[in-house]
A and B are shown apart, each in its own frame.
Chain A
Amino acid sequence: MSYTEATVQLLSPQGTLVENDLSAPYLPLIEKLDDAALKDFHRHMVVIRRFDIEAGNLQRQGQLALWIPSLGQEGAQVGSAFAARPQDHIFPAYREHVVGRIRGLDVMKIIEMLRGQSHGGWIPAETGNFHLYTLVIGSQSLHATGYAMGQKFEGADEATMVYFGDGATSQGDVSEALVFGASYQAPIVYFLQNNHWAISVPVDRQSRTPLYLRPSGFGIPGVQIDGNDVLAAYAVTTANLDAARSGQGPRFIEALTYRMGAHTSSDDPTKYREREEEQFWSERDPIARFETYLKSKGADDAFFSEVAAEAEDLAADIRARTFALEAPPASKVFANVYTDPHPGVDAEAAWQAAYEASFDGESA
């Protein structure tokens, strides 16, 4: 499954603007962007790719239990993230590192999670309403839908966006989310990143129908975009979030992209996919085409050098802070299992502390 006649593309893989019937409604949204905004798109795509590589290295060096790369999906993620307004709420799956960064999350929290220091633990109210990662596939689609139902009940000038992948579309929870979202006309955008692979299973095992068509069966408009086109991701998501926010009910976006790397650091894509396919998508890389576009608009080498330096700085910072991490205290096992006092957890915590203390003074 690749691009179709319905795929909205604003920027070609060659880095030129696409003017056709599909792009026409969205190009005005791009024309409103100033150079600084466009440069921010590029900056975030480049910096997160460098971060991603650094995190992968840290995993290989034994510093992380796991890494989940987003390599190749930066266009879909950066464009959609910039489309959201500050008051909107974002429910990620677990690969949307740059979305979190754009919303204000210190991506070190993701490193900590995948090192095994926490299960996430960031505070969405302090990270631009970027909620926690959810590792059970598709579960967050229902949380996001419920959240959006609340926004709807209150008539808030807000929307919710939830990310999930092509594998998740086979989960009952995603279908149930579409049912609830449509039924309550919740202000939510379902943002599907179709990266073509659910670990080793190709998307045609998940669906024999292009996935952007599926929401129509639930009464939700769906649109397919070139997810490696950051401009299409930005413009189409902006239009759909605006529609959701203004009371027009839920929307669904299928962003065609490609997981250039492995599913996680535990995966080996050479066992299940062809080099030719990876080559096809590498020629449609989101960063390369946007760099060409920015150069055509006059961005100079100084800008690109500055972005590269920022990327190196973040990588070095993440590396240093990872090596500085200390093991969490044993008491964290027992903390926040409940909000209200719980005698069972309290008793076990006290027992464990006494057990640990019983070793004091013994040689190791």
Chain B
Amino acid sequence: MTELTMAKAINAGLRAALAADEKVLLMGEDIGTLGGVFRVTEGLKAEFGEGRVLDTPLAESGIVGTAIGLAMRGYRPVCEVQFDGFIYPGFDQITSQLAKLTYRHEGSQSFPVVIRVPYGGHIGAVEHHQESPEAYFAHTAGLRSISPATPHDAYWMIQDAIASNDPVMYFEPKSRYQRRGEVDLENRGAAMHESRVVREGTEVTLVGHGAMVAVLLQAADIAAEEGTSVEVIDLRSLSPIDYEPILASVQKTGRLVVAQEAPGNVSVGSEVAATIAERAFYSLEAPVLRVSGYDTPFPPAKLEGVYLPDADRVLEAVDRSLAY
């Protein structure tokens, strides 16, 4: 076991992937000499050279579009989009090209491209720097979308993403970058698309991903003090979603609250809620409830505490669920 921050864990995972396969390339704005604005790629250009770690021109569509061409050439590009809200200039290349090219090629060509996206709030930043755009990509066939909640998962899941022969959106909860955690460098644990019970309980199931998992664990602690036993599931994979642990949990608890930073309207949480309602109807004692960011643009930073679901808002939903 090694204790690492999430940023260092991703860095270590990228280093391992670069060392294992010379076709792995890192591409992005400021990722080379500077090591990225969050220093996630720090030291990698010095170690592997500018031919492997590319400081690209400042153009997201260009980064993704040229990564597609490099993938056709046999490379495995790992692109960093600097901030969640800066991904949209690359949206066409991700959703209309990268996601569909394997299908267009009828399988003769794979597109093992990873898009790393620092996402989410809690960092008090300006507009376009705190968003949660994962639903757009989870909605798009041809992409896989994952998000680690811990340094351990961050270390292994980035390597899983790079090893995947499909395009993978790798959403990094940037508010967790500097949080430390144990990383088992020998044993990977859950596979890339598995969801996982991270705290066992009996009365209510909470599901979330990324930075929300820590909020759910905090809520579970508070609930326990109040005498309520809460189970927490880390979704880990947003597309495809591994429903089995959620179904098993709901069959036990009969109650489900899904939480996310993203706006609730047409969200990943909505998909979980709908699927559990379809597949576990007779197990449910209460309607599935969602706790989400509001259906507004991400507000100015001084209001992020209003916008972002915290333990209290999660517990409010837990109370509502228990009241049925």
Mark A residues whose CB is within 8 Å of B.
118-121, 123-125, 131-132, 134, 136, 139, 141-151, 153, 172-173, 176-177, 179-180, 183, 335-340, 342-345
How big is the B interface, by class? 35 or more
B81 to chain A, nearest CB (A): 15
Residues of chain A with a CB closer than 8 A to B69's CB: 142-150
Q: Which residue on A lies nearest to B142, using beta carbons?
A: A337
Out of B62, B68, B102, B105, name the residue touching A338 (CB < 8 Å). B102
B37 to chain A, nearest CB (A): 20
Out of A123, A143, A180, A335, name the residue touching B57 (CB < 8 Å). A180
Known A136-B97, A142-B93; judge A339-B107 contact (CB<8 A).
Answer: yes
Q: Whole-angstrom distance between the alpha carbons of A125 and B56 in the complex?
A: 29
Q: Whole-angstrom distance between the alpha carbons of A131 and B100 in the complex?
A: 15
Q: Which residue on B lies nearest to A113, using beta carbons?
A: B104
Query: Counting chain B CB atoms within 10 Å of each CB, which of A123, A153, A339 scores highest?
Result: A339
Residues of chain B with a CB closer than 8 A to A139's CB: 65, 92-93, 96-97
Residues of chain A with a CB closer than 8 A to B75's CB: 150
For the A-B complex with A141-B65, A146-B67, A180-B56 known, give 8 more contacts whose Cβ atoms are closer than 8 Å: A119-B104, A142-B65, A148-B69, A176-B59, A177-B66, A180-B59, A339-B165, A345-B141
Interface residues of B in 113-144 (CB under 8 A from A): 141-142, 144
Residues of chain A with a CB closer than 8 A to B72's CB: 124, 131, 143, 146-147, 150
Cβ of A335 and Cβ of B68 under 8 Å apart?
no
A sample of 18 inter-chain contacts (CB < 8 A) reads A120-B104, A120-B105, A121-B104, A125-B108, A136-B96, A136-B97, A139-B97, A142-B65, A143-B65, A145-B66, A146-B67, A147-B72, A173-B62, A180-B56, A180-B59, A336-B106, A338-B142, A344-B239
Q: Whole-angstrom distance between the alpha carbons of A145 and B56 in the complex?
A: 13
Q: Interface SS of chain A: helix, strand, loop or mixed? A: helix
Contact of B202 with A by CB under 8 A: no
B73 to chain A, nearest CB (A): 3
Residues of chain B with a CB closer than 8 A to A145's CB: 65-66, 69
Mark B residues whose CB is within 8 Å of A.
51, 56-57, 59, 61-62, 64-75, 89, 92-93, 96-97, 100, 102-112, 141-142, 144, 164-166, 193, 239-240
Residues of chain A with a CB closer than 8 A to B64's CB: 142
Q: Which residue on A lies nearest to B100, using beta carbons?
A: A119
Known A150-B75, A180-B57; judge A143-B240 contact (CB<8 A).
Answer: no
Q: Whole-angstrom distance between the alpha carbons of A132 and B97 in the complex?
A: 12
Out of B59, B68, B240, name the residue touching A179 (CB < 8 Å). B59
Cβ of A337 and Cβ of B65 under 8 Å apart?
no
Cβ of B96 and Cβ of A336 under 8 Å apart?
no
Q: Which residue on B lies nearest to A142, using beta carbons?
A: B65
Residues of chain B with a CB closer than 8 A to A119's CB: 100, 103-104
Residues of chain A with a CB closer than 8 A to B165's CB: 339-340
Residues of chain A with a CB closer than 8 A to B56's CB: 180, 183
Cβ of A337 and Cβ of B103 under 8 Å apart?
yes
Cβ of A124 and Cβ of B109 under 8 Å apart?
yes
Q: Whole-angstrom distance between the alpha carbons of A338 and B111 in the complex?
A: 9
Out of B92, B96, B106, name the residue touching A335 (CB < 8 Å). B106
Cβ of B68 and Cβ of A118 under 8 Å apart?
no
Q: Which residue on A lies nearest to B166, using beta carbons?
A: A338
B288 to chain A, nearest CB (A): 20
Q: Which residue on A lies nearest to B104, using beta carbons?
A: A119
Cβ of B61 and Cβ of A118 under 8 Å apart?
no
Cβ of A342 and Cβ of B240 under 8 Å apart?
yes
B231 to chain A, nearest CB (A): 23
Residues of chain A with a CB closer than 8 A to B104's CB: 119-121, 132
Cβ of A176 and Cβ of B240 under 8 Å apart?
no
Query: Counting chain A CB atoms within 10 Å of each CB, which of B62, B100, B103, B111 scores highest?
Result: B62
Residues of chain A with a CB closer than 8 A to B112's CB: 339
Q: Whole-angstrom distance between the alpha carbons of A119 and B68 in the complex?
A: 18
Residues of chain A with a CB closer than 8 A to B73's CB: 146-147, 150-151
Known A335-B107, A337-B141; judge A146-B70 contact (CB<8 A).
Answer: yes
Q: Which residue on B lies nearest to A121, using beta carbons?
A: B106
Q: Which residue on B lies nearest to A148, using beta carbons?
A: B69
Cβ of A339 and Cβ of B96 under 8 Å apart?
no
Cβ of A121 and Cβ of B61 under 8 Å apart?
no
Q: Whole-angstrom distance between the alpha carbons of A342 and B72 in the complex?
A: 22
Q: Whole-angstrom distance between the alpha carbons of A180 and B70 in the complex?
A: 13
Residues of chain A with a CB closer than 8 A to B74's CB: 150
Residues of chain A with a CB closer than 8 A to B59's CB: 176, 179-180
Out of A142, A150, A343, name the residue touching B62 (CB < 8 Å). A142
Q: Which 6 A-B pairs have the closest CB atoms?
A: A146-B69, A142-B65, A146-B66, A150-B73, A176-B62, A336-B107
Q: Whole-angstrom distance between the alpha carbons of A151 and B172 in the complex?
A: 31
Q: Whole-angstrom distance between the alpha carbons of A146 and B68 in the complex?
A: 7
